Amino acid sequence: MSLEHLVKDALSLEYDTRAESDIRIKVVGIGGAGSNSIDRLSRQKIKAEMIAINTDKAHFSIVNAHKKVLIGEKLTNGHGTGGDPSLGEQIAQMAAHEVFHVLDGADIIFTLAGLGGGTGSGAGPIITEVAKETGALVVSIVTMPFKPEGKRRWSIAEQSIEKFRGSANTVIVLDNNRLLEYAPKLPVKKAFGVMDYLVGDIIKNLAETVTLPSMMNIDFSDLKAIMRNGGTSTILYGEGNYYTPQDAVMDTLNNPLMDIDYRGASGALIHITGGTEMTLQTVYRIAEGITSGIRDDAEVKIGARVDGNYTKKLKITTILTGVHTPYMPNRNAEVYQDSGKISDLISFVA
């Protein structure tokens, strides 16, 4: 049989797509900021169980969540930790058994915390460690404080990131100060809403990558292989026109709210969604553009899904592990000393 006839016969077949996966996801907000995130995320229709854990009983009255777990009531009388991370750590250790039973049964657990205070910074890493003990893949998404809040809160936040890295499989760091640069005139509530929308987008896109049917499949085992010991990671998201894939690559690599350097990343998981016109060459070129600036020996996994809602459009979700962040300058991947310019990385499709 000639190659021409082989291709013709192959194209005449109709392939069944796999059913939607039943991966179980829990999202856990820790402390005041984490619980506020859970409240806002509950409006984004994410297929996950939303859980808020806090020491402040009164704060729960304004939080919408599937489960609310009050910890440390005997030590704080239902109030906060007063910004004391050591107290937050002690409380979480005392509540570890209760927290384990709340978190058990998930395949992926996201722990969310705003850093610089007592509960998020102190209890957060302990609760994250408990989450990991359930056997789930644990991704921590933490937010740095605003610099005007003072050096003490910033120092607490930096120390807490180190502890989160020791507890989670991978940590994604968001910076509120970058939000100020891009949306300085937004009211506070709406500004935090933008950050939480990004968090929700991260969770939703990562979940869809491993749960929805794909032609080039990325499954849960691939996700675990990339993120199991990912260190500091970032999840990038971009969209573009099918005819100009370089714009989609640029949109993906230009993430305004994460202060990271992806050059030298040790792992990449790339998932591309497009319409029925999407070709294998398009997938290859996009993956080449995303990975051209990372380590040559990085572990890379690529998936692609055809979706009728993306006719003439492309959506790219990328997880990069082992990236560099200035908040932990001594514990991250080697930073490559090339130009690192986006224009250099996408020249292959220009």
What pTM was computed for the model?
0.80
Q: State the residue range of the domain holding 248.
A: 230-349
Enclosing H/E stretch for 216: none
Residues 140 and 263 in one domain: no
Number of domains in the chain: 2
185 CB burial (10 A radius; 0-12, 13-18, 19+): exposed
Residues 184 and 40 in one domain: yes
Residues 239 and 184 in one domain: no
pLDDT score at 3: 45
Per-residue pLDDT of the chain (350 residues; tens, 9 = 90+): 444 444 444 444 444 444 455 789 999 999 999 999 999 888 887 889 999 999 999 999 999 999 999 999 999 999 989 999 999 999 999 999 999 999 999 999 999 999 999 999 999 999 999 999 999 999 999 988 887 788 899 999 999 999 999 999 989 888 878 777 777 777 777 777 777 777 887 787 777 777 776 777 777 888 888 887 667 887 777 888 888 888 888 877 776 566 677 777 888 888 888 998 888 888 988 999 888 888 888 888 888 888 888 889 998 888 888 887 777 644 443 333 333 333 333 333 32
Judge whether 305 and 210 are in contact, CB under 8 Å: no
The CB density around residue 332, as the number of other CB atoms within 10 Å, is 21
Residues 168 and 68 in one domain: yes
Residues 59 and 183 in one domain: yes
What is the Cα–Cα distance from 191 to 168, expressed in whole angstroms?
Answer: 27
CATH code assigned at 260:
3.30.1330.20
pLDDT score at 257: 61
Residues 55 and 138 in one domain: yes
Residues 190 and 261 in one domain: no
